[in-house]
Structure 1
Amino acid sequence: MPRAVGKNDRVQTERIRMAETTTTTRRTAPRDQEAGAVNSVRRIDIVMPVYNDWDSFCQLAHGLDTAVSDWGHSVRILAVDDGSLDEGNGLVTDLRDLEHIEEIRVHRLVSNLGHQRAIAVGLSEVCRENSSDAVIVMDSDGEDRPEDVRALRDAFMQDPHRIVVAQRARRSEGPLFRLFYRIYRLAFVVLTGRNIDFGNFMLIPGKFIEPVTHSGWIWNHLASGIVRMRFPIRAVPTERGTRYAGESKMNPVSLIVHGFSAMSVFSDTVFVRVLLVSLVLSVGTAVGILMVVLIRLLTEMAIPGWATNAVGLLFVIFLQALLLSAGAAVLLLATRSQQTVVPALDSERHVRSRTTVFSR
Structure 2
Amino acid sequence: MSLEKSRLTLVVPQHNDWECAQVLLDQINELADRFSVDKISVVLVDDFSDQINGLIELDWDRLDIKIIRLVQNLGHQRAIAIGLCYAYDHYDGDWIGVMDADGEDRPEDLFKLWNQAKKQSASVFAHRNKRSEGMLFKLFYWLYKFVFWICSGKRISFGNFSVIRGDRLKALVHDPNLWNNYPAAFLKSKIGYSTLSTSRGVRYHGYSKMNLTSLVIHGLSGVAVFADVVNTRMIIFSLAIILSALLGISIVVSIKILTDSAIPGWATYSVLAFAILLFQALIIAFFTLFIFLSNRSVMAVQPVKAYVNYID
Given that 2:123 and 2:192 are in contact with CA atoms closer than 8 Å, whether structure 1 keeps it comes out as yes
1:235 aligns with 2:199: no
| Bigger Rg, which one | 1
Equivalent residue number for residue 50 of structure 1: 14
Q: What displacement does 1:315 show?
A: 0.7
Aligned-partner SS, 1:197: coil
Aligned residue-pair number: 307
Given that 1:219 and 1:341 are in contact with CA atoms closer than 8 Å, whether structure 2 keeps it comes out as no
Aligned-partner SS, 2:86: helix
Decide whether aligned partners of structure 1 residues 303 and 339 sit closer, same or farther in structure 2, where only a CA change above 3 A counts.
same
CA distance in 2, matches of 1:142, 1:156: 21
Equivalent residue number for residue 222 of structure 1: 182
Task: Could you tell me which runs of 5 or more consecutive residues in structure 1 were left unpaired when the two chains were aligned.
Answer: 1-40, 353-360
Equivalent residue number for residue 122 of structure 1: 83
CA distance in 1, matches of 2:76, 2:37: 31
Given that 1:44 and 1:73 are in contact with CA atoms closer than 8 Å, whether structure 2 keeps it comes out as no
Structure 2: which amino acid aligns with 1:196?
Answer: I
Equivalent residue number for residue 144 of structure 1: 105
CA distance in 2, matches of 1:130, 1:263: 31
Q: What displacement does 1:142 show?
A: 0.8
Decide whether aligned partners of structure 1 residues 73 and 113 sit closer, same or farther in structure 2, where only a CA change above 3 A counts.
same
Match of 2:40 among 46, 65, 75: 75
1:166 aligns with 2:126: yes
CA distance in 1, matches of 2:110, 2:146: 29
Match of 1:330 among 290, 301, 306: 290
Aligned-partner SS, 1:157: helix
Q: What displacement does 1:94 show?
A: 3.9
Deviations 1:108-130 (CA, angstroms, capped at 9, x unpaired): 01111111111010011011114
Q: What displacement does 1:86 show?
A: 2.5
Given that 2:41 and 2:65 are in contact with CA atoms closer than 8 Å, whether structure 1 keeps it comes out as yes
CA distance in 1, matches of 2:36, 2:279: 64
Structure 1: which amino acid aligns with 2:62?
Answer: H
Task: Could you tell me which runs of 5 or more consecutive residues in structure 2 were left unpaired when the two chains were aligned.
Answer: none
CA distance in 2, matches of 1:230, 1:280: 29
CA distance in 2, matches of 1:256, 1:334: 25
Q: What displacement does 1:201 show?
A: 0.5
> Could you tell me the TM-score, scaled by structure 1's length?
0.82
> Could you tell me the TM-score, scaled by structure 2's length?
0.94
CA distance in 2, matches of 1:271, 1:157: 38
Q: What displacement does 1:297 show?
A: 2.0
Q: What displacement does 1:301 show?
A: 1.8
Given that 2:13 and 2:101 are in contact with CA atoms closer than 8 Å, whether structure 1 keeps it comes out as yes
CA distance in 2, matches of 1:305, 1:332: 41
Equivalent residue number for residue 143 of structure 2: 183
Aligned-partner SS, 2:285: helix
Equivalent residue number for residue 265 of structure 1: 225
Q: What displacement does 1:170 show?
A: 1.2
CA distance in 1, matches of 2:37, 2:101: 23
CA distance in 1, matches of 2:236, 2:260: 36
Structure 1: which amino acid aligns with 2:16?
Answer: N
Q: What displacement does 1:140 show?
A: 0.8
Given that 1:163 and 1:232 are in contact with CA atoms closer than 8 Å, whether structure 2 keeps it comes out as yes
Q: What displacement does 1:74 show?
A: 1.2
Equivalent residue number for residue 6 of structure 1: none
Aligned-partner SS, 1:199: coil
Matches within 5 A, 1:16-27: none
1:86 aligns with 2:46: no
Deviations 1:40-95 (CA, angstroms, capped at 9, x unpaired): x9531110111111111111111211221124331121111112122234x1x344
Q: What displacement does 1:289 show?
A: 1.0
CA distance in 1, matches of 2:37, 2:75: 34
Equivalent residue number for residue 92 of structure 2: 131
Identity fraction in percent: 36
